[in-house]
């Protein structure tokens, strides 16, 4: 199962569950999906995997 993270944007307060390391990396490189503000590693909180479970 892919790792999950809770991403919270410090600029616009968007709160998104991110599934997979590649999505996390994309946010770190490209910024917030909502407001394009830069994202930092501190904006991600590891979560217990829940997506894809029955």
Number of other CB atoms surrounding residue 5 within 10 Å:
20
Contacts by residues 12-19 (CB-CB < 8 Å, ≥ 24 positions apart): 12/37, 17/47, 17/51, 18/44, 19/51, 19/52
What is the predicted pLDDT for the residue at 19?
92
pLDDT in 10s for each residue of the chain, 54 residues: 788 999 999 999 999 999 999 999 999 999 999 999 999 999 999 998 666 554
13 Cβ contact list (under 8 Å, min separation 6):
none
What is the predicted pLDDT for the residue at 2?
85
What is the predicted pLDDT for the residue at 54?
47
């Amino acid at each position: 199962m892919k790792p999950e993270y809770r991403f919270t944007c410090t600029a616009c307060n968007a709160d998104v569950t991110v599934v997979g390391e590649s999505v996390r990396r994309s946010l770190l490189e490209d910024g917030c999906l909502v407001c394009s503000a830069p994202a930092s590693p501190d904006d991600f909180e590891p979560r217990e995997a829940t997506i894809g479970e029955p």
